[in-house]
Amino acid sequence: MPMNDDRMHDLFAEIRRIEATPSDALTARLLADARREADALAVARDTMAERPAVFSLRLAIEDLIGIIGGWRPALGMAASLCCGLWLGAAGIDPAMLLPGLERPTLTFDLPENPLALITAP
């Protein structure tokens, strides 16, 4: 039987007539489970309130990594930090660190006023 709009509307109307109410036993089990979870949370909250706050470096680092987005972004940031420190320590021309080079292979003579770069033809 091909599906047309009238048949589809009839199916949806038939589905809307179905009343889906949970049984009394299921409702009782759900409420009992919710009470048990609420009691467990109340006990955990009370024990957390009684415990003195102690600074933990490990927990602080875990929180920081969680804020960043996880281990992958944290490792990427650490790698870029190492590269930045290396390039910063190498100076203006990192090619000078390559073996066998006595002088820089490429130099730029930049004007002291950066606006001169924009106005120059």
CB neighbour burial string for 45-76, b if at least 16 within 10 angstroms, e if fewer: eeeeeeeeeeeeeeeeeeeeeeeeeeeeebee
CA dist 106 and 58 (Å) reads 46
**DSSP summary character for residue 69:** T
pTM score of the predicted model: 0.33
Contact 104, 93 (CB under 8 A): yes
pLDDT at 114: 73
Contact 74, 67 (CB under 8 A): no
User: pLDDT tens for residues 5-17?
Assistant: 888 898 899 988 8
